[in-house]
Structures are given as C-alpha cells and as structure tokens.
Structure 1
Amino acid sequence: MPVIAVYSVKGGVGKTTLAVDLAWRCAQVGKYPTLLWDLDQQGGAGFLLDAPPRRTARAMSLFHRDSRPRDLIEQSRFERLDLLQADESLRGMPVQLARIGGKTRLAQLLAYLRADYRRIVLDCPPMMNEVSDQILAAADIVLLPLPPSPLASRALGQVRDELTRHHRSHPPILPVLSMYDSRRKLHREVREGDGKGWPVIPQSSHVEQMALRREPVPVFANSSEASRAMGRLWSAVEMKLVELGRA
C-alpha cells in the first residue's frame, strides 16, 4: 500500500498541517485504514490530532531490531486513522540510526506496516541527511510544500538533485505552494511563473485555528477555501497514485 511522504527542507511551511489533513482525508473521505507516522521530533501531528503525549519518550525505540511497532501505534479519535507519535527521543536520529546499523530500517518497518494499512502518511523531519534519504527512498510519492518565494523552484531542485544523487529512480515529487496570499504581488508572480500548475494552499485563519481546536480544518470548516484547496490536493495525490498503479 502507498506511502505518502510530506517533506520540506525547512520548517514553517505548513508541512505538518498538510500531513494531518491528508491522513484525515485518506481515512474519512477515502475510507482507507490509514497510519500517520510523525517522524518530526516536534510532535506536531499528534498535537494537531489532540493525542495525549506519551509519558515516556519511546519513538526512537521503533528503529531497534527487537521493536514491536504495533505496541506504539495509537488510535486517533477519528475512525480508521491511527497515529505513531513523535517525541524528543527522535532528536539526533541520524547518529542513533548509524549506531544501530539502521540504513534500511525505515524501509523494513514500512514493509511491516503496509500489511495493516491502505495508506501511510509520513510527517518528515525538516532536514536533508541520511534520515531524509531513507524516508524519500521508501516513499511512493513525496509532497513538498514550498512558500511562494522566488527560492521555491531552487528548493525543489535541491530535493530532486539529492534524490538523483543517491537513487537511479526516485518517487515522484509533487510541489505545493503553501501559505499563498493572492493579495501579495510576489505570491501571484511565483504562482504564474515557477509555480505555475502547482497545487496551492491559501494562507488562512482556519489553518491557524487547527492548533487551537486540535483537529483538521474540514472537521470545523469544511466549506472554507482552505479545506477545499486541501481537498483538491488530496484528490491530486490519489489520482497520481492511480497513475503509478499504487492505489
């Protein structure tokens, strides 16, 4: 079953918001048993889904050879949507993976988890290193949220170059213009230039309210522009998976 990685080389671009929304739509709209795996030590995905924090930091223990992933999987309050929370134990993950010899551990874990889920969404850490290399290599499609800036296409090129450097073939990358404000001339120029044809997620107070309400936008504002835009993005991802024969 497909693995959807939501990845960015820097934070603050709406990565976790998109990951949570996509996972929710996979479970509620697509009716797929879905796992949202938070690999970002900030733990934003669990927070936005109102998941109680763990009493002990155990997220990194998943990568040990004797781990039992199902012991750490939690049910969210939404039907068909499960969660693997992040915590501070993921700090220094590259060093810890090297110590336990885990160059293929992520792919092994995903192969194990695919048996239980129709969709797996990864909220990736905002970095480019051994960990991101493993994540991107194991994904079927990569969503790359980018701010509407002249540097957006450069960031896209960096990710593509990194994938090509390490892999002869790599998953398709779907760039997304996030936090788009149509009132700003620069944003419009980027959308009409390098970002032409990219999915667009508008800057919206409803998206900001996710952190207050601790639930996805369509739960409390399904008819909002932000919810409709993220719904179109989910549909685009599903169509791409069909094209790839991974649906």
Structure 2
Amino acid sequence: MQTLALYHLKGGVGKTAAAVNLAYLAARDGYPTLFWDLDPQGAGSWYLESAPGQTIDAAKLVKGKLAVGRLVRPTRFENLSLMPADFSLRYLDILLRKVQGQDALKRLLAPFREMFTLVVLDCPPSLSHLAANIFAAADAVAVPIVPSHLSVRAFEIVHQEYKALGHKPRRLHPFFSMVDRRRRLHNALLAETPKRLKRRMDAVIPYASVIEQMGEERAPLGAFAPRHPAAQAYESLWSDLRARMGEFA
C-alpha cells in the first residue's frame, strides 16, 4: 500500500478537486483506493456524495479506541472507498500533539494495508503537527500551486519545513493548478519555472468551470466529463504520479 497526500500550506489552490480526481482514476485503473478526507470542511466527502453516518470521535481515533475500519464507507464508484470528514477533526492537530512522535497517523493507516493499494489523503491547509504527521505517513506529497508569487512562496516554506523534518524533498511533487492562460503572470511562471519547482510535474491543471461543476454533479470529472481537457489534465497528473511512485508504474 502507498499513501499519497494532497497538501499545501495555502488554501484555494484546487487541492481537493485534484485529490478526488486522482483517487477516482486510481480506482478506475483497478487499484483498491481509500479517500480519507482529513479536512473538517468536508469538500471531498461532498464530491463523493457522502451521506450522514457514524460520527467520528477524533479523540478515540487518535488513542486507538476506535477501529478505523468501521469508519470506511463504499462510494458509488468501483474500487473507491471513503473515510469521510467529520467536524471533530478540527481538533485533530491538538489531539495528535498529545501522542509522542509524529507517526500517529501512519499507525492509524497501518490496518488498511490488507484492504487497499492506495490511500489518498485530502489535507487541510496548515503547517502544524498534523502536517508533520502527514509528511511522515505519506510516500508522496502532491502540492498544487497556482502560478502566483504567493503560492510559489508558500511552497518554498513547505519545502523547507519538509526537509527540516528529515524527509527527502524528492517525495514532494509540485504541479501547477488553476492555470489561466489569459493571465500574463501565469504564463510567465510556467515558462520560467522557479528554482524550487524544477522537479514539478508536467501536468498542468487549468482553471475551468467544469471543475467547479463537480460540486453540482457530486462526482469526479471522469464520471461526467471524461473528454474535457481538464479531465485529460488530471489523467496526465495521475500518469506522472504513477511513474514517480513506482508501485503504479
């Protein structure tokens, strides 16, 4: 089993849309996939049409008193399961601080090794103890970056923190997201990649209304608009990640 985190310090960069589409594409390709929505906002859970169910007691979860497998639900997409968001997750960072070390999240994921080939984590935008746990648990961290100076600067902070925590920067996989070709700055940053983004993936996710339509359809792009250029961009992103993560090559 491999774990892929979709993460960025900065919000509003298309992280959840990418996470949902990548999880869907992995499942479509035959890999039993779990989408774990760690963001209390629950946008990923909404996209995958999660219905109200068992409330997560985050405190019991962190202490190992709640079996994580009981929180997993099937989705209407073959091979794709969901561990939905819960409002109690807003305290997850505080609760994890009470656990020694930074591998609590990794331990929580361990039971899924018998069930899934890939776990996709949709992560809240923060640089916190939770983020440190995510870095320790993830085999790869995909970082969507809007072509803007603030978004690039935020990635540089993530890169520095990731390295400071003892992780290999080659496991960070930045890619440009929400790209608007009508904007001069977007085109300039795509043409002259900043130093920290030299290892960025080739896939470029466009700014497109069809991605916003995921909220209306409550489904990944591949389920309702597979031929749209935005859907093809996610296909390219998934192909890039499969090649980089090895097990899926």
Instruction: Answer whether TM exceeds 0.5 for this pair.
Output: yes
User: After the TM superposition, which residues 156-167 of structure 1 pair with which residues of structure 2 at under 5 Å, given as runs?
Assistant: 156-167=155-166
CA gap 1:2/1:233 in 2 versus in 1, 3 angstroms: same
Letter aligned with residue 61 of structure 2: L
Q: Distance between the aligned counterparts of 1:222 and 1:41, measured in 2?
A: 29
* Residues 129-181 of structure 1: CA deviation (Å, up to 9, x unaligned): 11101101111111001111023332222111101111153561111111101
Q: Distance between the aligned counterparts of 1:145 and 1:118, measured in 2?
A: 23
Letter aligned with residue 38 of structure 1: D
SS at match of 1:112: helix
Partner of 1:19: 19
TM-score scaled by structure 2?
0.91
Structure 2: gaps spanning 5 or more residues: none
User: After the TM superposition, which residues 166-181 of structure 1 pair with which residues of structure 2 at under 5 Å, given as runs?
Assistant: 166-169=165-168, 172-181=171-180
SS at match of 1:92: helix
Letter aligned with residue 5 of structure 1: A
Tell me the CA shift for residue 122 of structure 1: 0.4
Q: Distance between the aligned counterparts of 1:146 and 1:168, measured in 2?
A: 20
Partner of 1:127: 126
SS at match of 2:213: helix
Report if the CA contact (8 A) 1:33-1:119 is conserved. yes
Partner of 1:202: 206
Q: Distance between the aligned counterparts of 2:56 and 2:110, measured in 1?
A: 24
Percent identity between matched residues is 39
Q: Distance between the aligned counterparts of 2:229 and 2:59, measured in 1?
A: 37
Structure 1: gaps spanning 5 or more residues: none
Moved more, 170-179 or 194-203: 194-203
Q: Distance between the aligned counterparts of 1:60 and 1:6, measured in 2?
A: 24
Partner of 2:78: 79
Report if the CA contact (8 A) 2:148-2:185 is conserved. yes
Report if the CA contact (8 A) 1:6-1:121 is conserved. yes
Q: 1:234 aligns with which of 232, 238, 244?
A: 238
Partner of 2:67: 68
CA gap 1:234/1:21 in 2 versus in 1, 3 angstroms: same
TM-score scaled by structure 1?
0.92
Tell me the CA shift for residue 113 of structure 1: 1.3
Tell me the CA shift for residue 65 of structure 1: 1.7
SS at match of 1:215: coil
CA gap 1:143/1:74 in 2 versus in 1, 3 angstroms: same
Aligned pairs, how many? 244
Report if the CA contact (8 A) 1:24-1:216 is conserved. yes
* Residues 72-126 of structure 1: CA deviation (Å, up to 9, x unaligned): 1000111110010111101122212223557422111122212210111000111
Structure 1 vs Structure 2 CA RMSD:
1.9
